[in-house]
């Protein structure tokens, strides 16, 4: 998932001269307090204002140099401020700082809305002579002008004032929604050890009973996922399911309804039928109607396989439990796990010892270094180029380019092209999800890009007496690959002339392509053998175990896709229907039962913690749409030379390095030499049935 709190970012006003935006990069450098954070944000807001004043005082004919450069600098100030305030709101242990960060995100958002509604700036940009500009500059300016028009810059002053009020209220509500999810960590108390049957030994070791013999489990992912996958107790799984899916309920229900109502008012004010039409207007998809057509195609492609796999799992479950007539939503992960054990001789616990967190991290670094022709080095923590960290558990890494080779095959030079931060384990007050944060703009010749991963994987216990190796489920490792795909997109795409098209600055419905493409690399046995070693014996993961893992994990894709379709359709409907007619519980249950065969569990309030409704809003379809492109991209690689073959460097050059300097459709066309096709997606979805030797 890409965190969307960051704004576009740009280059200094005067090339080569000192600039406060670039000389004052990190809000957490030094002693971090609410006061220091506010002062840091205020400095960047002042830089933004100075750049806009410079732009508006230009008297001569408008050019790229005298108008687009200061505009970029203004947006840069907002981008850095918004990104880092958003990060601290997600990760800081001190609630007072988190509260101040939330206020600062609101302040930056208000400045950004004011900029987007400034007709003087718009007409200044519109007057720029682009006759001699390169393609990236033309694309940047054309897309910027489109976004100004979609923001309502051409409306009268009274309407613009109303738009600003609505935008600011949406931001305020979104922050409150996210804060409630972040701070309400529901727990499940287990007072009967028999309920823990089936859970891994290392999980039990991390949850020793208290003086009363009780064990307390949280809804953090390192607790939630093993319980839902391995616990034999129906009662425990159901309690955990409801605890997880009632986070921030009931507080977020009225907040969400007000978000929907306010977005609808804004869309109508801007001349759109619904928020869904507004939110897709500048995307690759183009309209809510096209999203619905795409979903209809996926529905037809996935229905038969999904029905078939569910019937197989239900029949298997009834062999174990004759009284079962259906599988409910709290039991799907458990029964699919049990079926895979029987049908494919694969117990997902069997691979966990090969995936201790530290080995996985190093393996992903090594894989990405070869694939993307880069080198990763721990960033210095002292000296003139020291990395500032917001928590002692965070690590920082510098990225060096290794794509240019001399005649002897050795890398040329020592060009540093980026820095990233890894904040990978749960802690009090930290966001509970998995996301990538662009932090600092990458501008060729001025500033290397910086980004961060915020995750919640097992491990990371700072207690030296702890023997917890942080064993990961294979789905955890896939998630790590996914997030690292975002990270490399931010770094490799962050080498542009303009920060407005630098890094992950593509259309919003292209940003999940690089992340979902990299997920597929996890399935390669040769790649895994390079780092997946048993944490006790050092034995590499056997190829036949990887084969069984791949075969087993392919089973369930039909209903996995339909699960994503449920989220997608729910997100779309919430933003396409009249909010006055919406009953959240009724709409969600109807959508769930239409998409999936599992029995609904009463009390599920998923919408109260579904933070994508704030970030992606109506556009959750991005994951499904981008998976189609990602799989098409992956099929261009040679499975026998996946990482070091020629396609890897071509992928870097043609897809990642352009950042947002080209439209998403152009990136697809350049790499595939055609438009994307659903063929690869259908083959991937039905891979589970490619071999009919499936156990009954």
What is residue 23's predicted lDDT score, i.e. its pLDDT?
Answer: 57
Between residues 29 and 265, the one the model is more confident about: 265
Dump pLDDT digits (tens) for 511-537: 999 999 999 999 999 999 999 999 999
Residue 397: which H helix or E strand, with range? Answer: strand 395-401
CA pair distance 624, 482, nearest whole angstrom: 14
β-pair partners for 187: 218
What is residue 688's predicted lDDT score, i.e. its pLDDT?
Answer: 66
Residue 179: asked if its preceding bond is cis (omega within 30°), the reply is no
Domain-embedded: residue 587: no
Dump pLDDT digits (tens) for 577-608: 999 999 999 999 999 999 999 999 999 999 99
Is pLDDT at 179 greater than 80 in this prediction?
yes
Whether 233 and 197 have beta carbons less than 8 Å apart is answered as: yes
What is residue 445's predicted lDDT score, i.e. its pLDDT?
Answer: 86
Whether 539 and 359 have beta carbons less than 8 Å apart is answered as: no
Dump pLDDT digits (tens) for 211-233: 999 999 999 999 999 999 999 99
CA pair distance 293, 297, nearest whole angstrom: 6
Whether 558 and 596 have beta carbons less than 8 Å apart is answered as: no
Q: Per-residue confidence at 34, pLDDT binned at 50, 70, 90?
A: very high
Going edge to edge, which strands form the sheet with 435-440? 374-378, 395-401, 416-423, 450-454, 435-440
What is residue 591's predicted lDDT score, i.e. its pLDDT?
Answer: 98
Kindly state whether residues 237 and 371 are assigned to the same domain: no
What is residue 14's predicted lDDT score, i.e. its pLDDT?
Answer: 33
CA-wise closest residue to 282 among 147, 178, 433: 147
Q: For 398, which DSSP code?
A: E
Which of 487, 507, 527 is the last residue before a domain boundary?
507
What is residue 3's predicted lDDT score, i.e. its pLDDT?
Answer: 57
Is pLDDT at 691 greater than 60 in this prediction?
no
Are β-strands 416-423 and 435-440 bridged in parallel, bridged antiparallel, or unpaired?
unpaired
Domain-embedded: residue 203: yes
What is residue 405's predicted lDDT score, i.e. its pLDDT?
Answer: 52
Which of 470, 488, 507 is the last residue before a domain boundary?
507
pTM: 0.93
Domain-embedded: residue 366: yes
Domain-embedded: residue 227: yes
In terms of Cβ atoms closer than 10 Å to its own Cβ (0-12, 13-18, 19+), residue 675 is exposed
Is pLDDT at 408 greater than 80 in this prediction?
no
CA pair distance 573, 595, nearest whole angstrom: 14
Domain-embedded: residue 396: yes
In terms of Cβ atoms closer than 10 Å to its own Cβ (0-12, 13-18, 19+), residue 341 is middle
What is residue 407's predicted lDDT score, i.e. its pLDDT?
Answer: 43
CA pair distance 138, 35, nearest whole angstrom: 41
CA pair distance 247, 243, nearest whole angstrom: 7
Residue 437: which H helix or E strand, with range? Answer: strand 435-440
CA pair distance 66, 59, nearest whole angstrom: 10
CA-wise closest residue to 417 among 659, 203, 680: 659
Residue 444, CA distances (Å) to 68, 72, 75, 404, 599 in order: 16, 14, 17, 16, 54
**Lowest mean pLDDT segment, chosen from 172-181, 313-322, 455-464, 514-523:** 455-464
Q: Per-residue confidence at 466, pLDDT binned at 50, 70, 90?
A: low
Domain-embedded: residue 416: yes
Can you tell me the mean pLDDT for 410-417? 69
CA pair distance 413, 428, nearest whole angstrom: 43
Core vs surface per residue 127-145: b (16+ CB within 10 A) or e:
ebeeeebeebbebbbebbe
Domain-embedded: residue 638: no
Handedness of CA 352, 356, 357, 361 (dihedral sign): negative
CA-wise closest residue to 90 among 190, 1, 214: 1
Between residues 646 and 693, the one the model is more confident about: 646
Dump pLDDT digits (tens) for 646-655: 999 999 999 9
Dump pLDDT digits (tens) for 303-329: 999 999 999 999 999 999 999 999 999
CA pair distance 77, 72, nearest whole angstrom: 9
- Maximum distance among all Cα pairs of the chain, rounded to whole angstroms: 83
Sequence-separated contacts (24+) of 64-67 with Cβ below 8 Å? 64/128, 64/129, 64/130, 64/133, 64/137, 67/124, 67/125, 67/127, 67/128
3-state secondary structure 55-105: HHCCCCCCCHHHHHHHHHHHHHHHHHHHHHHHHHHHHCCCHHHHHHHHHHH
What is residue 499's predicted lDDT score, i.e. its pLDDT?
Answer: 83
In which domain, by residue range, is 208 found? 184-244
pLDDT above 90: percentage of residues in the chain:
86
Residue 397: phi, psi to the nearest 5? -135, 140
Dump pLDDT digits (tens) for 122-152: 999 999 999 999 999 999 999 999 999 999 9
Can you tell me the mean pLDDT for 102-131? 96
Is pLDDT at 12 greater than 50 in this prediction?
no
Dump pLDDT digits (tens) for 374-400: 999 999 999 888 999 999 999 999 999
Residue 22: which H helix or E strand, with range? Answer: helix 20-23
Residue 311: which H helix or E strand, with range? Answer: helix 288-320
Q: For 191, which DSSP code?
A: -
Whether 617 and 575 have beta carbons less than 8 Å apart is answered as: yes
Which of 467, 489, 507 is the last residue before a domain boundary?
507
Residue 550, CA distances (Å) to 333, 500, 522, 557, 626 in order: 17, 40, 9, 12, 22
Q: Kindly report the CATH number assigned to the domain that includes residue 369.
A: 3.40.390.10
Q: Per-residue confidence at 463, pLDDT binned at 50, 70, 90?
A: low
Mean pLDDT of the chain: 92
CA pair distance 202, 469, nearest whole angstrom: 8
What is residue 384's predicted lDDT score, i.e. its pLDDT?
Answer: 86
Domain-embedded: residue 494: yes
Beta-carbon-side half-sphere exposure of residue 349 (alpha carbons within 13 Å): 15
Q: Per-residue confidence at 84, pLDDT binned at 50, 70, 90?
A: very high
Can you tell me the mean pLDDT for 154-175? 97
**Helix, strand or coil, per DSSP, at residue 386:** coil
Can you tell me the mean pLDDT for 47-63? 95
Whether 502 and 142 have beta carbons less than 8 Å apart is answered as: no
Domains held by the chain: number: 2
């Amino acid at each position: 998932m890409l965190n969307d709190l960051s704004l576009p970012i740009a280059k200094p006003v005067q090339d080569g001269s000192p600039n406060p935006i670039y000389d004052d990069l990190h809000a957490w450098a030094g002693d971090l307090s609410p006061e220091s954070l506010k002062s840091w944000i205020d400095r960047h807001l002042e830089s933004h204002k100075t750049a806009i004043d410079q732009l508006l005082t230009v008297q001569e004919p408008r050019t790229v140099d005298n108008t687009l450069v200061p505009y970029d600098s203004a947006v840069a100030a907002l981008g850095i401020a918004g990104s880092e305030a958003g990060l601290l709101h997600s990760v800081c242990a001190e609630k007072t700082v988190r509260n101040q960060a939330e206020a600062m995100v609101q302040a930056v958002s208000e400045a950004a809305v004011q900029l987007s509604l400034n007709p003087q700036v718009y007409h200044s940009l519109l007057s720029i002579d682009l006759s001699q500009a390169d393609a990236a500059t033309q694309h940047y300016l054309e897309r910027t002008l489109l976004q100004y028009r979609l923001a309502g810059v051409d409306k009268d002053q009274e309407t613009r004032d109303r738009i600003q009020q609505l935008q600011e209220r949406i931001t305020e509500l979104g922050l409150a929604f996210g804060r409630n999810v972040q701070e309400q960590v529901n727990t499940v108390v287990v007072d009967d050890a028999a309920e823990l049957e089936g859970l891994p030994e290392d999980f039990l070791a991390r949850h020793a009973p208290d003086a009363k013999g009780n064990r307390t489990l949280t809804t953090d992912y390192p607790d939630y996922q093993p319980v839902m996958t391995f616990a034999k107790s129906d009662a425990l799984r159901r309690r955990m399911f409801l605890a997880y899916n009632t986070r921030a309920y009931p507080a977020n229900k009225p907040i969400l309804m007000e978000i929907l109502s306010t977005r609808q008012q804004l869309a109508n004010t801007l001349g759109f039928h619904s928020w869904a039409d507004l939110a897709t207007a500048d995307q690759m998809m183009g309209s809510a109607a096209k999203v619905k057509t795409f979903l209809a195609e996926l529905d037809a492609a996935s229905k038969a396989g999904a029905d078939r796999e569910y019937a197989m799992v239900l029949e298997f479950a009834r062999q174990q439990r004759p009284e079962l007539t259906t599988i409910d939503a709290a039991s799907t992960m458990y029964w699919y796990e049990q079926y895979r054990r029987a049908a494919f001789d694969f117990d997902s616990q069997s691979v966990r010892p090969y995936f201790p967190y530290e080995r996985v991290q190093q393996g992903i670094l090594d894989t990405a270094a070869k694939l993307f022709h880069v080198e990763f080095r721990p960033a210095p923590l002292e000296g003139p180029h020291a990395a500032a960290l917001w928590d002692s558990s965070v690590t920082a890494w510098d990225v060096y380019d290794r794509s240019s080779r001399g005649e002897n095959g050795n890398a040329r030079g020592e060009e540093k092209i980026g820095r990233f931060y890894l904040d990978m384990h749960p802690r009090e007050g930290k966001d509970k999800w998995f996301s990538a944060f662009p932090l600092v703009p990458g501008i060729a010749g001025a500033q290397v890009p910086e980004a961060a991963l915020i995750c919640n994987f097992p491990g990371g216990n700072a207690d030296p007496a702890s023997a917890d190796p942080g064993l990961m489920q294979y789905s955890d490792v896939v998630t790590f690959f996914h997030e690292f795909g975002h990270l490399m997109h931010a770094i490799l795409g962050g080498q542009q002339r303009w920060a407005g098209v630098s890094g992950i600055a593509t259309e919003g419905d292209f940003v999940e392509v690089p992340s979902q493409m990299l997920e597929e690399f996890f399935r390669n046995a040769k790649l895994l053998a390079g780092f997946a070693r048993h944490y006790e014996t050092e034995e590499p993961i056997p190829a036949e175990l990887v084969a069984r893992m791949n075969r087993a994990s392919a089973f369930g894709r039909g209903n996995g896709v339909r699960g994503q379709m449920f989220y997608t359709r729910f997100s779309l409907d919430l933003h396409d229907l009249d909010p006055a007619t919406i009953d959240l519980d009724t709409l969600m249950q109807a959508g769930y039962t239409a998409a999936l065969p599992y029995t609904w569990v009463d009390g599920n309030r998923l919408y109260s913690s579904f933070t994508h409704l704030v970030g992606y809003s109506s556009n959750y379809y991005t994951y499904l749409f981008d998976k189609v492109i990602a799989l098409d991209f992956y099929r261009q690689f040679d499975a026998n030379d996946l990482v070091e073959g020629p396609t890897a460097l071509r992928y870097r050059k043609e897809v990642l390095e352009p950042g947002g300097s080209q439209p998403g459709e152009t990136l697809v066309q350049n790499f595939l030499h055609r438009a994307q096709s659903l063929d690869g997606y259908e083959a991937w979805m039905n891979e589970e049935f490619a071999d009919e030797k499936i156990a009954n």
